[in-house]
Structure 1
Amino acid sequence: MTAAAIARDVKEGTRSPVDVVDAHLDRIHERNDRTNAFVTVTDELARRMAADAERAIADGEPLGPLHGVPVAIKDLDDVEGVPTTSGSLLFEDHIADADTPVVERLRAAGAVVVGKTNTPEFGLGTTTDNRIVGPTGTPFDPDRTAGGSSGGAGAALGDSLVPLAQGSDVGGSIRTPASFCGVFGLKPTYGLVPQAARPNAFVSHTPMSHKGPMARTVEDAALALDVVAGTHSRDPFSVPTTTAYRAAVDRPIDDLTVAYSPDLGVYPVDPAVRETLDDAVSALERAGATVDEVDPNFDHDRTEILDAYYTMATVLWQSLLDDLERQGFDPRGDDRDRLRPYLVDLVMETPVPSAREYKRADIVRTDVFDGLQDCFDRYDLIVSATLGTLPFPHGAEPTTVDGQEVEPYRGWVLTQPYNFTGHPAASVPAGFVDGLPVGMQVAGRRHADDDVLAASAALERRRPWADRYPT
């Protein structure tokens, strides 16, 4: 069932929150070994929350928009009293002492937390694997990666373990697993969903880090966005919203204009993926949108864009190590062997950029921003592939795509430009190649998340995917 259907049935009294949660917990325990989506299943907390939800109904209390709906939380976000491992042996026994803002808002809306989903160590990776529970696979072929870093969330949704999940995205971490798991994932406009990170409240701006909803339907994601969006006094980048995102799902799109660029002009895309996208984008035309094939002009090739991303991200990752040291760990010394080798190579074996290199990366970032804005001056949306390739076997990151050499860890993703700029961008299921899902990236003007949702919902109506999950 969808989150919207569960919430409606609970509100109407035709379905019990306790029964709903019990059914989902049973399914998680029966099937989680298949994909390794969950790190922690919060049976006791979930049943207590479900009982509270049932009492609220009996007492005639006002019900939130997600009352009784099971939700999964990425294991980077804190749920009070529940382990937050961050995918790291350093935090294997860490228990959170408070909810993050997103969790607070989901719980206030009546959602029931059923568990924490898998992530690579500290969320650093386009695939999901760590030394605590191992890799997460796509439900369509568990021997292939679910993507990352919100891979556990994508797999939990694609295998129908939960109707709603929360993800985070600093370079594609919502959209990559959404594509590989055949679900919908939205990276909202930067600041729309608050984070209130500590000890550095300003850590999320370079590259831009976002939290957002993931679901099997666009409607469910829109319902969740209505709940979690809006200002927060402890997030200096949080922005207000006056938009009702659920209402956007039912909007016609005959007033929307679309710039279709399968490869964003610079990225290699597998021919089978491109063919699937060509077919999917035609559905937007049939739904009334005006579609032109147009490439943004970034003034840089994909290597220069990726180098700028790594320059910014390396500074971000080095600050993570500083935070670990403040917490009493020694990641550069005695605790180094407890870290995943990939993280050691990525962070500690990479030279720290100079201040001048860091600011030069901002020039590339500006050129990418201007290239996108030039498109958005003429079009409401930019549509592309989410990823240049299909889900691949665990540990077999691609080195070539469509005959072109690519950097194996991030050279096949088309998501990072929007982490430079903060535009809203979603991955929408576009179809399948040999039984493996393909995602279409739909990006909109800043603060036009409703346009992204409207177009995504129109595609879902024209090309429904609900019956394709391996349930």
Structure 2
Amino acid sequence: MTGGVPYASARSIADGVRTGELSPVDVVETYLDRIERFNPDLNALVTVSAESAREAAAEAERAVERGDDLGPLHGVPVAIKDLNRTRGVRTTFGSTAFADNVPEEDDTVVARLREAGAVVVGKTNTPEFGRKTVTDNPLFGASANPWDLDRTTGGSSGGSAAAVAAGLVPLALGSDAAGSIRIPSSACGVFGLLPDFGRVPDGPDRPDAFENVLPYTFLGPIARTVGDAALMLDVMAGPDVGEPYGLPAPEGSYLDALDAPVSDLTIGYSPTFGGFQVDPAVRDAVEDALDALSAAGATVTELDLSFADSWDDRHDALEWILQQRYVGLYENLKRTASVDLLDADREITPEVVSRIEAGLDLDAGTMAAARRRRTAVYETVQRGLEGVDVLATPTLSRTAPELGTTDPTVDGEPVHPMHGWTLTWPLNLSGNPAGSIPVGFDDGLPVGMQLVGDRLDDRTVVAACAAVERELPWIGSYPPAGLEGGA
């Protein structure tokens, strides 16, 4: 296993457990030891459920010894983003208001991972209620990027991406309302997958089961390889009676999509995705990757995507629907947890408070304008996909900013501090599946490429990302700072 157990693929760990080559107890102990050694510097995991993980690993070992039918993730450690509820394990949402919250039930996706044999080793850091594109909060502080501890992980699934990149876990769960899987995956040099909207159930979300269309919010895997992400998605995907927008069970396994030949792949390349500023070094890395794919037989065509509305107007639409979403969060928490996020006595981050307050002032005309602009974004993305399998863009305009940066720049020019350096959020307006895959470095920091597919065609995204991985193998590239080689 390349790099030793900490950097082994989830697939190889599952195979080793199934054949008896690996002990689930030893595997979990290896990762818990690594978490103990390296997590204090990274702050990727904010709750480590060592006792329950050891108990689950011991039971997993007994199941192997008994000859039980084993799930596809039997004995594989996994980390869960701290926005998802975990039975018996603290779930804070990155908020001091929930510092001692221990749910009695798992979210559906967590239950599915456990049923498949995965061992939950802890919860990963996130900004409060996932509000920002960097990962810090008043309860736990900031997560550090394994490639450079002075850099951000991105957000909001920053703890998950950092944990996978540093070999603290082979798999982690992410969620994405404006890029929160893809941003940190690009910044930390791992693979993050946005499956079709409705593919992975998010619930139970009550009393508002419709919140995840404001904007489209996805759950998806973060892994070091496309194959591991496909394995995890096979476990998580499928309908749930409580999900109004849940999709039927997918046809076949996502693992079956991994071997599509690169020569069959057609790619439409949008260098700026309709007007984002992109650092020349990032653009060079993405174009070098596309040149390599072209040399291997793929067809690559550069596109000039032209959106009907300006960048600012499109971004306003995103902000308005996010504000409405946070009003729903505010009202739901008052009803279900008796927590008022606008209570002046609570230590709630200004970003969350301002979004709720702005949302309370929204009117119907503003939301109608947001829906029209959102429709126009969808139509433009679909036009870009005409005649190609996937649309390629940089994932981020730049590599990971320094920790604490509030005014990031791109090639020396100021951009919107939250979303001006992330080419991810238009897809949360349109609902298209996408993946962010590593394609190179700029000054020692990872660069990711975003591959976008048609609605209801996330298998093609998986196939395309697997083709990239074969032509530009990232396996074996580990962060520095004493983390390399499974040390």
Name the TM tier (shorter chain): over 0.9
Q: Which residue is equivalent to 2:241?
A: 233
Unaligned segments of structure 1, at least 5 residues: none
Among 17, 24, 34, the residue aligned to 1:27: 34
- Residue 162 of structure 2 aligns with an amino acid whose one-letter code is A
Is it true that 1:131 corresponds to 2:141 in the alignment? no
1:152: how far off? Answer: 0.2
Among 280, 301, 309, the residue aligned to 2:289: 280
Q: Pairwise mapping of residues 46-65 of structure 1 onto structure 2 (< 5 A)?
A: 46-65=53-72
CA contact (8 A) 1:315 1:352 kept: no
**What SS does the corresponding residue of 1:467 show, helix, strand or coil?**
coil
- Distance in 2, matches of 1:238 and 1:437, equals 34
- Distance in 2, matches of 1:109 and 1:262, equals 40
Among 163, 178, 188, the residue aligned to 2:170: 163
- Distance in 2, matches of 1:464 and 1:170, equals 29
Q: Which residue is equivalent to 1:452?
A: 461
Q: Which residue is equivalent to 1:339?
A: 348
- Residue 333 of structure 1 aligns with an amino acid whose one-letter code is D
Among 179, 188, 205, the residue aligned to 2:186: 179
**What SS does the corresponding residue of 2:290 show, helix, strand or coil?**
helix
1:201: how far off? Answer: 0.5
Q: Comparing 400-409 with 376-385, which one deviates more in the overlay?
A: 400-409
CA contact (8 A) 1:259 1:295 kept: no
Is it true that 1:70 corresponds to 2:77 in the alignment? yes
- Residue 139 of structure 2 aligns with an amino acid whose one-letter code is I
- Distance in 2, matches of 1:412 and 1:438, equals 13
Q: Which residue is equivalent to 2:159?
A: 152
**Identity over aligned pairs, percent:** 48
Displaced runs of 4 or more, over 6 A: none
- Distance in 1, matches of 2:76 and 2:296, equals 31
- Residue 343 of structure 2 aligns with an amino acid whose one-letter code is G
CA contact (8 A) 1:306 1:411 kept: no
**What SS does the corresponding residue of 1:211 show, helix, strand or coil?**
strand
Number of positions where the alignment pairs a residue of Structure 1 with one of Structure 2 = 470
Is it true that 1:312 corresponds to 2:321 in the alignment? yes
Q: Pairwise mapping of residues 329-368 of structure 1 onto structure 2 (< 5 A)?
A: 329-335=339-345, 337-348=346-357, 352-368=361-377
Alignment deviations for residues 92-128 of structure 1 (CA, whole Å, 9 cap, x no partner): 0000110111111111111100000000001111000
Among 19, 35, 40, the residue aligned to 1:12: 19
**What SS does the corresponding residue of 1:331 show, helix, strand or coil?**
coil
1:78: how far off? Answer: 1.1
Is it true that 1:292 corresponds to 2:301 in the alignment? yes
Relative to structure 1, the CA distance from residue 12 to residue 399 in structure 2 (aligned partners, 3 Å threshold; closer, same or farther) is closer
Alignment deviations for residues 365-398 of structure 1 (CA, whole Å, 9 cap, x no partner): 1111111111222211000011111111112134
Q: Which residue is equivalent to 1:428?
A: 437
**What SS does the corresponding residue of 2:136 show, helix, strand or coil?**
coil
1:288: how far off? Answer: 2.4
Relative to structure 1, the CA distance from residue 468 to residue 189 in structure 2 (aligned partners, 3 Å threshold; closer, same or farther) is same
1:403: how far off? Answer: 5.0
State the TM-score, normalizing by the size of structure 1.
Answer: 0.97
Q: Comparing 96-105 with 240-249, which one deviates more in the overlay?
A: 240-249
- Distance in 1, matches of 2:259 and 2:36, equals 35
CA contact (8 A) 2:279 2:411 kept: yes
Is it true that 1:213 corresponds to 2:221 in the alignment? yes
Among 474, 478, 485, the residue aligned to 1:465: 474
Relative to structure 1, the CA distance from residue 370 to residue 270 in structure 2 (aligned partners, 3 Å threshold; closer, same or farther) is same
- Distance in 1, matches of 2:47 and 2:247, equals 32
Among 206, 219, 235, the residue aligned to 1:198: 206
